[in-house]
């Protein structure tokens, strides 16, 4: 497999003579299998034309932040989410200074602020500018924030000086970009997550549902995608935006969610059941709106399929993780569910406490599996999701 197969790389080009090498870089990234989109600053266009980069990348080049036509195509937030990596090459001293200061005064800096993806810079400038204390401080600050710096290389410069500040060669940059995707805990693993509530129709305007916001499942989807997994999120109705690099399948009822989950069996390697699935549905959803006439009414409810049990019982069973949201005797019920549903791991949380659980941003859970029990103290759902994904990745790597 090519090193950058299916990776989505947003190549930022800033103003510097090394911008002529960016054309070659687009070729090299594509040779390694990447999909490339190019963003140019105004200064970059003084050195190389957007037309050249459009022809090489096969995609329109993005140049301005406030262009209604470009925004109607792929808006800047969409572009920021599209990227698996933003590689800025060449990165000028001015661009690094603006990035270090959190500026969003052009399209490229705005994208860097908005993106959940990794950012890498290939600095290129005169050796005196590179050695300057301000540039060195900016470089250090950017490194501390997790931005990768590729180079600069040393040698003869376009201005005649000799020293550090040359942009690295295109092939080297493409290879360094590939290393950023290596060694991630769930690289290439097909992972499926159910999230949110389900809605069970009573009639065309009414339904039975619950308070699940979907936040935990969405945070898990984001964390799993960051760990390199190919994530399918099967989601009931929520108000949440789909995380970057996650494929979402929208469903409404438990039956829809069951069907969508079963369709993933065979390809899915890890299944995380985070949805708050309605246990029962009306035996018959009325075709017309029910009129109020009697003082009492009865709706007959029938059991919904248990999705996670069906997944765990499937012949091509994935590593299966369930959640147990309980209001009392949390651990006892969770242990029982782990066994009864034949799960590999269960995440137990106490939803009687309003500071955690449904709709809140925080959560405290206990992870139970064959290796024992581990309590994870109250932390933001996103941070908790990263911790849980790390636990799942460890168990996954230890599988037989």
Binding site for ligand C5P (CB under 6 A): 194, 254, 273-275, 277, 279, 304, 306-308, 322-324, 337
Asked if 90 and 136 touch (Cβ cutoff 8 Å), the reply is: no
Residue 214 tokens, joined:
């979907």
**What residues are annotated to the active site?**
159
Q: Is 370 exposed, middle or buried (0-12, 13-18, 19+ CB in 10 A)?
A: exposed
Please give the backbone phi and psi of residue 199, each rounded to the nearest 5 degrees, phi first: -120, 130
User: Nearest distance from residue 328's CB to ligand C5P, in Å?
Assistant: 13
Residues in the chain, overall count = 400
Q: Which is nearer to ligand C5P, 10 or 308 (CB)?
A: 308
Burial 58-74 (b: 16+ CB within 10 A, else e): eeebbbbbeeeebbeee
Q: Which is nearer to ligand C5P, 180 or 308 (CB)?
A: 308
Q: Which is nearer to ligand C5P, 202 or 272 (CB)?
A: 272
- Calpha distance 159→99 (Å, rounded): 25
User: Nearest distance from residue 137's CB to ligand C5P, in Å?
Assistant: 49
User: Nearest distance from residue 331's CB to ligand C5P, in Å?
Assistant: 13
Q: Which is nearer to ligand C5P, 94 or 255 (CB)?
A: 255
Q: Which is nearer to ligand C5P, 304 or 363 (CB)?
A: 304
Please give the backbone phi and psi of residue 379, each rounded to the nearest 5 degrees, phi first: -150, 165
User: Nearest distance from residue 242's CB to ligand C5P, in Å?
Assistant: 19
User: Nearest distance from residue 306's CB to ligand C5P, in Å?
Assistant: 4
Helix ranges (H only) for the chain are 20-31, 50-57, 68-73, 76-82, 93-100, 107-114, 127-131, 133-144, 170-179, 215-226, 254-262, 307-312, 330-340, 381-397
| Sign of the torsion angle spanned by Cα atoms 384, 386, 390, 396 | positive
- Calpha distance 89→40 (Å, rounded): 10
């Amino acid at each position: 497999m090519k090193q950058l197969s299916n990776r989505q790389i947003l190549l930022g080009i800033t103003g510097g003579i090394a911008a002529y090498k960016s054309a070659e870089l687009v070729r090299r990234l594509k040779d390694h299998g990447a999909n490339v989109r190019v963003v140019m600053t105004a200064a970059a266009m003084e050195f190389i034309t957007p037309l050249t980069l459009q022809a090489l990348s096969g995609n329109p080049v993005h140049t301005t932040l406030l262009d209604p036509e470009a925004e109607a195509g792929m808006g800047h937030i969409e572009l920021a989410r599209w990227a698996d990596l933003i590689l800025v090459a060449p990165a000028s001293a001015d661009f690094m200074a603006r990035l270090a200061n959190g500026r969003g005064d052009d399209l490229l800096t705005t994208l860097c602020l908005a993106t959940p993806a990794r950012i890498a810079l290939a600095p290129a400038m005169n050796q005196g500018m590179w050695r300057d204390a301000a540039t060195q401080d900016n470089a250090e600050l950017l490194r501390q924030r997790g931005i990768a710096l590729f180079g600069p290389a040393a040698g003869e410069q376009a201005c005649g000086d000799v020293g550090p500040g040359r942009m690295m060669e295109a092939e080297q940059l493409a290879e360094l970009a590939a290393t950023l995707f290596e060694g991630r805990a769930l690289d290439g693993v097909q992972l499926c997550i159910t999230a949110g509530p389900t809605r069970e129709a009573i009639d065309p305007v009414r339904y039975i549902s619950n308070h699940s916001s979907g936040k935990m499942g969405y945070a898990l989807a984001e964390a799993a995608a960051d760990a390199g997994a190919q994530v399918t999120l099967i989601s009931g109705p929520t108000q949440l935006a789909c995380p970057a690099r996650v494929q979402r399948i929208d469903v409404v009822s438990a039956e829809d969610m069951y069907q969508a989950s079963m369709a993933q069996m065979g390809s899915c390697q890890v299944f995380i059941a985070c949805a708050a699935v309605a246990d029962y549905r009306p035996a018959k959803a009325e075709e017309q709106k029910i009129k109020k006439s009697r003082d009492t009414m009865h709706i007959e409810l029938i059991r919904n399929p248990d999705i996670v049990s069906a997944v765990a019982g499937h012949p091509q069973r994935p590593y299966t993780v369930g959640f147990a949201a309980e209001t009392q005797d949390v651990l006892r019920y969770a242990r029982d569910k782990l066994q009864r549903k034949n799960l590999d791991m269960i995440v137990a949380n106490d939803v009687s406490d309003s500071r955690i659980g449904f709709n809140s941003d925080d959560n405290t859970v206990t992870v139970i599996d064959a290796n024992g029990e581990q309590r994870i103290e109250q932390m933001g759902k996103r941070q908790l999701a990263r911790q849980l994904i790390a636990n799942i990745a460890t168990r996954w790597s230890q599988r037989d």
